């Protein structure tokens, strides 16, 4: 399935206007720092859109990344606020929500292995905290998307558009054949972190919140569809899957795609039940241990 460039340096392409090619250095429209992709000599493509309209983030800074020593942009604060409003009760006031960025998580006291939590979010100084039906502190991870296959085709398309001098958003947003999103690869890179960070969060009397794009959310739900994963939003959850979606609109000027919480793609459940469902995959096979085998002398043995 082909894809098209959905955003170029934060400017969406599904309108009819001019977009100027980026010249290094350029500021990222989603954080208070220079564009990481341009600094790495890559094309500043923030996101792509599949032929069916599905939105897929291809830049690690697009959803809500963070650089520890740089103040958060208003965009990042608004994303965090929308997550907080989704996972915590309506009775919680904004001044009772605190967060910390890029927090080291040691796998164990005896191991040198460690990772970084994107965010830690906690409730602070709230009355009646013991009656909450949710964790009062969570590890918050952001994974909106991942890479694509045949990225060279996409790069070539953008390069030709930049050199053409047309500056047309319609041309930049044309479909590029042979390129597809790689949801499974994105999850493979995240799953160890998801499993370890979540387990540490629970042992530390907290919860885990995983913010994703719609394609990753659907992939995770597909993996556990045969299991019974209870909705525990009002009964005390320990894992929340929160999906963002594209706000559908037709822009009249260059602007970024607006991301909002997808209220149709939310899951509040038990972390342990969900991870058991993830790992309890497959069925017994009558064929994998039968058929032709070779011994070390070259003799064929059939069992």
Per-residue model confidence as pLDDT tens digits over 152-196: 999 999 999 999 998 999 999 999 999 999 999 999 988 887 888
Q: Return all residues near 117 (Cβ < 8 A) that are at least 6 apart.
A: 102, 103, 104, 105, 139, 140, 141, 197
Do residue 105 and residue 188 come from a single domain?
yes
Whether the CB-CB separation of 124 and 98 falls below 8 Å is answered with: yes
The residue range of the domain holding 207 is 63-145+181-284
Average of per-residue pLDDT values in the chain: 91
Do residue 8 and residue 51 come from a single domain?
yes
Do residue 85 and residue 172 come from a single domain?
no
Q: Which has the minimum average pLDDT: 30-44, 108-122, 251-265?
A: 108-122
Per-residue model confidence as pLDDT tens digits over 82-97: 999 999 998 899 999 9
Do residue 169 and residue 104 come from a single domain?
no
Per-residue pLDDT at 254: 78
Do residue 206 and residue 239 come from a single domain?
yes
Please say which residue of 165, 180, 195 terminates a domain: 180
Please tell me the distance from the alpha carbon of residue 254 to that of residue 17, in angstroms, as a whole number: 7
Do residue 199 and residue 272 come from a single domain?
yes
Please tell me the distance from the alpha carbon of residue 12 to that of residue 61, in angstroms, as a whole number: 16
Do residue 23 and residue 163 come from a single domain?
yes
Please tell me the distance from the alpha carbon of residue 137 to that of residue 98, in angstroms, as a whole number: 9
Does residue 4 surpass a pLDDT of 90?
Answer: yes
* Residue 190 located in a structural domain: yes
Total of domains in the chain: 2
Do residue 154 and residue 229 come from a single domain?
no
Does residue 282 surpass a pLDDT of 90?
Answer: no
Q: Which has the minimum average pLDDT: 67-71, 92-96, 130-134, 200-204?
A: 130-134
Do residue 154 and residue 238 come from a single domain?
no
Phi-psi label, residue 178: left if phi above 0, alpha if psi -120 to 50, beta otherwise: left
Do residue 224 and residue 107 come from a single domain?
yes
Angle between helices 271-279 and 214-223 (to 10 degrees): 70
* Residue 214 located in a structural domain: yes
* Residue 176 located in a structural domain: yes
Do residue 203 and residue 122 come from a single domain?
yes
* Residue 299 located in a structural domain: no
- Predicted TM-score of the model (pTM): 0.90
Whether the CB-CB separation of 117 and 105 falls below 8 Å is answered with: yes
């Amino acid at each position: 399935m082909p894809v098209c460039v959905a955003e170029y340096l934060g400017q969406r392409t599904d309108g009819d206007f001019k977009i100027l090619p980026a010249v290094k250095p350029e500021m990222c429209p989603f954080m208070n720092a220079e564009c990481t992709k341009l600094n790495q000599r890559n094309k500043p493509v923030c996101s792509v859109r599949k032929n069916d309209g599905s939105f897929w983030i291809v830049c690690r800074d697009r959803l809500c990344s963070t650089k520890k020593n740089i103040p958060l942009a208003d965009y990042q604060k608004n994303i965090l606020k929308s997550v907080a409003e989704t996972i915590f009760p309506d009775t919680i006031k904004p001044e009772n929500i605190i967060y910390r960025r890029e927090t080291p998580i040691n796998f164990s006291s005896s191991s040198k292995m460690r990772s970084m939590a994107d965010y830690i979010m906690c409730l602070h100084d709230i009355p009646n905290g013991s009656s909450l039906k949710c964790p009062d502190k969570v590890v918050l991870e952001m994974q909106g998307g991942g890479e694509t296959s045949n990225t060279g085709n996409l790069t070539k398309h953008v390069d030709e558009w930049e050199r053409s001098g047309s500056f047309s958003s319609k041309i930049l947003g044309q479909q590029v054949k042979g390129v597809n999103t790689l949801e499974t690869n994105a999850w493979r890179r995240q799953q160890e972190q998801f499993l370890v960070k979540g387990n540490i969060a629970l042992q530390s009397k907290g919860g885990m919140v995983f913010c994703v794009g719609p394609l990753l959310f659907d992939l995770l739900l597909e993996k556990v569809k045969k299991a019974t994963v209870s909705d525990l939003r009002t009964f005390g959850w320990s894992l929340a899957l929160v999906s963002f979606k594209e706000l559908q609109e037709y822009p009249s000027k260059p602007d970024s795609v607006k991301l909002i919480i997808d209220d149709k793609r939310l899951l509040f459940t038990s972390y342990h039940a969900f991870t058991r469902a993830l790992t309890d995959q497959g069925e017994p096979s009558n064929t994998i241990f039968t058929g032709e085998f070779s011994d070390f002398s070259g003799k064929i043995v059939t069992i």
